[in-house]
């Protein structure tokens, strides 16, 4: 079984997940822009059952997602690295690809492109959706 590990930048929080993610996305929504200080968040989607924190306890912040179900952001209270967001509507974590020790995944799609700033960059050759792909909730 494949195991992926990651951490915040100060090392207080560590996590791991098993198997490859079910999706990997660039998200250009406003919340992700505020979170990252850039045009997008690179998230890999991991079913909750496959994910565990192995060191430390993250701080959390909860907001209502577009489906009006909770999105729980989990971040290091010491260095403020956003480690992942729990998407309760989909029962998965959107794990920060940049927090992984080995950031080997490629984005497969761009979502919430309609919220992107005018200077945002989109990877070429990938499906780009104004919000979410059809059938993926929202």
Contacts to Zn ion by CB under 5 A = 8, 10, 12, 27, 29, 32, 76, 78-79
Residues 6+ positions from 94 with CB-CB distance below 8 Å: 25, 27, 41, 43, 44, 45, 84, 85, 87
Give the shortest CB-75-to-Zn ion separation in angstroms: 8
Strands (E), the chain: 3-7, 14-18, 23-27, 41-47, 51-55, 59-64, 70-75, 82-87, 92-96, 109-111
Give the shortest CB-64-to-Zn ion separation in angstroms: 13
Give the shortest CB-83-to-Zn ion separation in angstroms: 8
Give the CA count within 13 Å in the CB-facing half-sphere of 3. 7
Give the shortest CB-28-to-Zn ion separation in angstroms: 7
Distance in angstroms (rounded) separating the CA atoms of residues 131 and 23: 16
């Amino acid at each position: 079984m494949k195991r992926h590990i990651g951490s915040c930048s100060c090392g207080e929080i560590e996590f791991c997940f098993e198997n490859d993610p079910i999706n990997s996305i660039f998200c250009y929504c406003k919340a992700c822009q505020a979170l990252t200080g850039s045009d997008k968040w690179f998230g890999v989607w991991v079913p909750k059952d496959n994910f565990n924190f192995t060191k430390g306890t993250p701080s959390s912040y909860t907001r209502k997602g577009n489906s009006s179900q909770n999105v729980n952001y989990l971040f290091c209270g010491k260095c403020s690295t956003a480690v992942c967001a729990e998407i309760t509507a989909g029962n998965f974590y959107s794990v920060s690809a940049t927090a992984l020790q080995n950031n080997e995944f490629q984005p497969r799609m761009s979502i919430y492109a309609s919220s992107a700033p005018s200077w945002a960059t989109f990877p070429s050759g990938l499906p780009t959706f104004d919000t979410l792909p059809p059938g993926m909730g929202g």
